[in-house]
Amino acid sequence: MMSRKERHKRAGTSRKRRQARLLFLIIGCTIGVLLLVWSGYGAHVVDWVLGIDGDGRVLHQNGSDAIQSKGSDSSFDQKIVNGSAEDNIQVEKWLQALTLDEKIGQMFLVHLSALTAEKPNQALSNILHELAPGGVILFKDDIKTVGQTIEDNVQMLRSSRIPLWIGIDQEGGVVNRILFAGDWNGNMAIAATGQPQLAKETAFETGSLMQLLSFNLNFAPVADVNDDPYNPVIGLRSFGSEPKQVSAYVRAYVQGAHKSGMPAIVKHFPGHGSTRTDSHVGLPQLTYDLKRFEQVEWLPYKAAIEEGVDMIMSAHIQVPQLELKTTSSQKDGSLITIPATLSSRVLTDILRDQLHFQGAIITDALNMKAIADHFGSDEAAVMSIQAGADVLLMPPKPHQAIAAIHKVIEEGTLTEQHIDESVRRILRLKLKYKVTDAKQASQLNVEQAIGRAQSFIASNQVQGLMKRIAEQAVTRWGTDSIANQPSVLITSSMNQVLLVGHDSVSLEAMQRALVAEVKGRREVGAKEKDAAHVAVNSNKVRSVETVVRVSKLDDTGLTDAIRAADAVVIVTNDVYRQPRRTKLLGKLVAQLEQIKKPVAVVAAGLPYDAQALANIPIGYAIYGLTDSNVRAAARVLLGRTAALGQFPVAVAGLP
User: What Å distances lie between residue 161 and 52, 69, 118, CA to CA?
Assistant: 21, 12, 20
What count of Cα atoms within 13 Å lies in the side-chain half-sphere of residue 61? 8
User: What Å distances lie between residue 1 and 4, 5, 340, CA to CA?
Assistant: 10, 12, 84
The answer to whether 532 touches 512, Cβ cutoff 8 Å, is yes
The answer to whether 145 touches 58, Cβ cutoff 8 Å, is no
Other C-beta atoms within 10 Å of 296: how many?
Answer: 19
Phi-psi domain of 245 (left: phi exceeds 0; alpha: psi -120 through 50; beta: other): alpha
Short-list 607, 526, 508, 538, CA closest to 192: 607
What count of Cα atoms within 13 Å lies in the side-chain half-sphere of residue 322? 31
Other C-beta atoms within 10 Å of 378: how many?
Answer: 19
CA distance 605 to 619: 13
The H or E element spanning position 113 is: helix 112-118
CA distance 203 to 256: 5
Q: How far, rounded to the nearest angstrom, does the alpha carbon of residue 366 sit from its chain's CA centroid?
A: 17
Instruction: Report DSSP state, residue 339.
Output: P
Short-list 185, 257, 183, 193, CA closest to 220: 257
* Catalytic annotation, residues: 280, 364
Other C-beta atoms within 10 Å of 356: how many?
Answer: 10
**What is the sign, positive or negative, of the torsion defined by CA atoms of 460, 309, 305, 79?**
positive
Q: Where are the alpha helices (DSSP H) in 160-214?
A: 187-192, 196-212
The answer to whether 607 touches 652, Cβ cutoff 8 Å, is no
CA distance 562 to 539: 13
CA distance 351 to 3: 76
The answer to whether 374 touches 292, Cβ cutoff 8 Å, is no
CA distance 267 to 365: 12
Instruction: Report DSSP state, residue 583.
Output: H
The answer to whether 359 touches 425, Cβ cutoff 8 Å, is yes
The answer to whether 651 touches 478, Cβ cutoff 8 Å, is no
The count of residues in the chain is 655
The H or E element spanning position 23 is: helix 4-39
List, as one string, the DSSP characters of 517-548: HHHT-SS--HHHHHHHHHHHHHSEEE-SS-EE
Instruction: Report DSSP state, residue 222.
Output: B
Short-list 353, 410, 419, CA closest to 391: 419
- List Cβ neighbours of 17 (8 Å cut-off, separation of 6 or more): none
CA distance 82 to 193: 39
Short-list 275, 283, 276, CA closest to 375: 283
